[in-house]
Amino acid sequence: MQAIYNIPFKIPGSRTDRELLHFYCSEAAHCLSRLSDSTLWTQLILQRCQHQPVVRNSLVALSSLYREYLKVGSARLGSSPKSIQLMVKSHKQLSTYLLMPDATPDAALICSLIFYVFECLVGNARQAIWHLDQGLKLLKNYWVDDPALIAKMDPIYPQIKMIFCHLDVHATIFTLDRVPILQLASPENISGLSNVVPEKFSNVFEIEQALVILQNWKTNHLMVTVELKGVYLSQLPIEIAQERLRIAYQCRLYEKAIEAFRLEKFDQILEKHERQRVMLLHCQGLIFHGVLLENIILTENDKKTPMDAYCKFDYALDQLTMLVSDPEWSKKYGGQGRDFTVSTNMIALLYFVCLKTRDRALLERCLSLMQTSLPAARDGLWDSRKAYLVIQSILAEKDSVETVQEMDTRLEDVGADIIDYHNGLDEIFSALRIEDSLC
C-alpha cells in the first residue's frame, strides 16, 4: 500500500526525504512558527522547495535534526556524527548553488535562516549567530542597494525580513556585546519628526512591525551608549537623553494603541492563535519598555522609574501566565517532553525580568513559569533549563550575602562579574560551573 504524505507538492528523492517533509508539514513547521505568523514556515518556504533543490535539501536536513532533537536534546544531537554530516552537506550544497548564474537571494536567505535553526537545535549559539549575521548582511545589501530585486521576492520578502529583524534583536540581547546589524528606525523617527507607532493599529502585522522597530531602536541605542549605563538623565549628553525619552514616548504610544486594538478586535474578530500572538507582542513591548525605564535614572532618591518598570513587568507576567495557562498550551508544551520554537523570545523575557527586578515575588513568578510551563523548551538561542539554573545560581549567591546589605539588590548587580564578561547564556552557564547533567 502506497504511503500518503501530507506534502502540498510532488518531490523527487527518496522515501526517507518524503517522510521527513511529511513530518515537517504535519508537525515541525507549526512548532517552529508558534506564536508568530506561520505563513513563512508553513507555506512560503515549502513553495520554494518545489523548484529550488537547495532549499528542499536543507529543509529535509532540518526536519531530520528537529525530529532527533525531540528524542535526545541538544547536547547529544550536537555530538552526533550523523547530525554534523547533515549540516556540512547542506552547507556544501548552498556553496555550490551560490556559484550558479541563476542563484537567487531568497534561496540564500532561507538557507541562512535554516542553518541558524540547525545550530540552535544542537546548542551552538556562536555558530548560529554567525549564520544569522550572514543572512542579515545579505538582506541589508539587497534592501539598500537593489530594491528592484527585493520586489521580485514578494511575497516572501516581508515575512523573511520580519523574522530576520526579530532574530537580529534576539542575538543582541543574548550576547550583550553585539550591536544589531539592521537599523530600522528612520532618521525622522530618531529626531522625533515622525512616530513609529500609528494612531491606530488595523491588523496584527502592523503591531508586530511597530514592535520590531521599537525593539531594534532601543537595543541599538542602549548598546551604543552602554558606557553611560547608570548615568543620571540630567548628566547624559543632551542628544542621548532626548533620544532615550523619545523611545520611551513611542513605547507608551505602542502600549496605548495595542490596548485599544485589543478592546476593539480581540474577542470579536481575531481567531484564538491571533489573540495569543497579540498577547505575546503586548508582553514583549511591556518588558522592553520596562528595561528602558531602568535606564532613565532621574535622581538617586527617585523611586518612580523603578516602580513604573516593575508595574510593566508585573502586567506582562499576568499576560504570559494567561497565555501558558491555556489548556491547549499545557497539554502540548507544559509536560516534560522537549519543545523548540524559533522566535517567541519568551525565555529571554523571563530571564531579563529575573535579572532586573528587586521584587522577590516577581522573580519567583518568572522562575515558576520557566519551571512549570517551559520546563524543557528551547527558543532559538535560549534554553529554558539553562536560564533557570543560571538564575537559581545567582540567586543563591545573592541570598548568601543579603543579610549584610542595606537594601535588596538586583540579580544583574550580584552577577555582574559573570554577566558582563561572558558572551551569552551558554558561556554564563559554563562560567558558573553548573553541571550539564542538570539540563
- Give the residues of the chain that fall short of pLDDT 50: 1-2, 303, 404-407
Distance, CA of 219 to CA of 215 (rounded, Å): 6
Which pairing describes strands 377-379 and 382-383: parallel, antiparallel, or unpaired? Answer: antiparallel
Beta bridge partners of 378: 340, 383
Closest CA relative to residue 232, chosen from 288, 294, 313: 294
Q: What is the dihedral of CA 137, 140, 141, 144, to 10 degrees?
A: -160
pLDDT for the residue 47 = 86
Q: How far apart are CA 344 and CA 358, in angstroms?
A: 25
Identify the burial level of 85 via C-beta atoms within 10 angstroms of its C-beta, where 0-12 means exposed, 13-18 middle and 19 or more buried.
exposed
pLDDT tens digits, residue range 138-151?
A: 999 877 666 666 66
DSSP line for 345-409: -HHHHHHHHHHH---HHHHHHHHHHHHHTSTTEEETTEEHHHHHHHHHHHHHHHHHHGGGSSS--
Q: Distance between CA 74 and CA 381 in Å, rounded?
A: 11
Are 227 and 253 spatial neighbours (Cβ–Cβ below 8 Å)?
no
Q: What is the pLDDT of residue 264?
A: 87
Task: Determine the pLDDT at residue 259.
Answer: 95
Looking up cell 554564563 gives 428
Query: Is omega for the bond preceding 105 within 30 degrees of 0, making it cis?
Result: no
Instruction: Give the DSSP letter string of 111-179.
Output: HHHHHHHHHHHTT-HHHHHHHHHHHHHHHHHHHHH-HHHHHHTTTHHHHHHHHHHHHHHHHHHHHSS--
Short-list 319, 336, 322, 412, CA closest to 371: 336
> Which three-class secondary structure state does DSSP give residue 423?
coil
- Domain boundaries defined on the chain: 1-182
Instruction: List the beta bridge partners of residue 341.
Output: 379
Question: Residue 398's pLDDT is what?
Answer: 80
Measured distance CA(279)–CA(35) in Å, rounded: 9
In this prediction, residue 152 carries a pLDDT of 65
Per the DSSP assignment, residues forming a β-bridge with 382 are 379
pLDDT in tens, 281-310: 999 999 999 998 888 776 655 545 567 888
Could you give the residue ranges of the DSSP H alpha helices within 176-271?
A: 187-191, 204-224, 238-265
Q: Residue 183 is which amino acid?
A: Q
* DSSP-assigned letter for residue 186: -
Read off the amino acid at residue 75: A
Measured CA to CA, the distance from residue 394 to residue 413 in angstroms comes to: 10
* pTM of the complete model: 0.91
pLDDT of 146 reads 66
8 A C-beta contact, residue 62 and residue 114: yes
Q: Can you tell me the distance from the alpha carbon of 298 to that of 232, in angstroms, rounded to the nearest whole number?
A: 5
Write out the three cell numbers for 165: 529583524
Cell numbers linked to 291: 528595561
Pairing of strands 339-341, 382-383: unpaired
Give the pLDDT of residue 300. 58
Question: Is the separation of the CB atoms in 367 and 394 below 8 Å?
Answer: no
